[in-house]
Amino acid sequence: MDLNLSGQVAIITGSSSGIGRACAIALAREGVKVIINYHSDAEGAEAVRQEITQRGGEAISVKADVSKEEDVEDLVESCVQAYGHLDIMVANAGLQADAAFTEMTLEQWNKVINVNLTGQFLCCRAAARIFRKQGVHKHGRAAGKIVCMSSVHDEIAWAGHVNYATAKGGVKMLMESMAQELAQDKIRVNAIAPGAIKTDINKDAWEDEESLEKLLTLIPYGRIGQGEDVAKVCAFLVSDAADYITGATLYVDGGMMLYPGFRDNG
Ligand code: BGC
């Protein structure tokens, strides 16, 4: 399928590693000019930029803390300055700061809510303002496309990760309410909810055999996901092939949402 994304411009937050990195590379492969946003891993961002440009793609990297309003404004501004327009926002940046509920500090709570939820609000708002001003132009049928990176934990409760699950539950309602409000402006807003994808964020769950085996009992499809599994869905969602999809959450999880514990139980 030709996704016809060539010449479009995308910001992918938190794309110096993990799922964000895979999305940046996949979109660049489709001819999208990519802004690789990072918070502190300048080296990682530079490696992604080089990987893209060596394959003939276009990319710049921009440092910004997505939880800070001025940083997000500057990020979007530097994109418009570099490329003249913006077509795609992938609000991906996220982190975990895990703790048992009764041990969780206010700092851990705030950190995760600020980056994973407020960060998405700030990035989506900044992008939507530009999309609305731009209107539908020569690049595609929509005025702009937003993908919020969610998680199976927008639905599945997660002991020991209450801050993270709460933020992702919030992302679901943020995404759906934005989609409802912005559809009249021809802005499409969707979410991808990954399950267990092999990245640094969940290293504990896959780095030794025993942990991986335990993790796999949660995944009917029988394998851990790769960044590319998510990135391909992201490329589809921001393309005109998905022009009639808005307000949807696509679970990319090998069936984790099917609650496999019920296979022979209940
Ligand atoms: C989390 C991972 C976890 C996965 C499935 C993701 O959103 O970031 O750490 O492995 O959900 O539980």
Helix (H, G, I), strand (E, B) or coil at 9: strand
CA 58 / ligand 1 centre spacing (Å): 30
Phi first, then psi, for residue 24 (nearest 5°) are: -60, -45
User: Whole-prediction pTM value?
Assistant: 0.98
CA 188 / ligand 1 centre spacing (Å): 25
Cα separation values, 250 from 6, 253, 255, Å: 24, 9, 12
Q: Are 114 and 123 in contact (CB under 8 A)?
A: no
- What integer pLDDT is reported at residue 137 of this predicted model? 87
pLDDT tens track of the chain, all 266 residues?
889 999 999 999 999 999 999 999 999 999 999 999 999 999 999 999 999 999 999 999 999 999 999 999 999 999 999 999 999 999 999 999 999 999 999 999 999 999 999 999 999 999 999 999 999 988 899 999 999 999 999 999 999 999 999 999 999 999 999 999 999 999 999 999 999 999 999 999 999 999 999 999 999 999 999 999 999 999 999 999 999 999 999 999 999 999 999 999 99
CA 167 / ligand 1 centre spacing (Å): 13
Q: Are 179 and 140 in contact (CB under 8 A)?
A: no
Ligand 1 pocket test, candidate residues 202, 219, 221, 252, most atoms within 8 A of CB: 202
Residue 1 is which amino acid? M
Catalytic residues, by residue number, are 164
For 39-96, what is each residue's pLDDT tens digit?
A: 999 999 999 999 999 999 999 999 999 999 999 999 999 999 999 999 999 999 999 9
Ligand 1 pocket test, candidate residues 98, 153, 229, most atoms within 8 A of CB: 153
Helix (H, G, I), strand (E, B) or coil at 162: helix
Sheet holding 144-149, edge to edge: 59-63, 33-38, 9-12, 88-91, 144-149, 187-194, 249-252
Residues in the ligand 1 pocket, defined by CB under 6 Å = 96, 151-153, 195-196, 201-202, 205
Which residue(s) pair with 120 in the sheet? none
Structural domains of the chain ordered from first start: 9-198+225-259 (3.40.50.720)
How far is Cα of residue 160 from the mean position of the Cα atoms in its chain?
A: 22
What does the block give as tokens for 67? 């939880």
Nearest ligand 1 atom to the CA of 158 is: 12
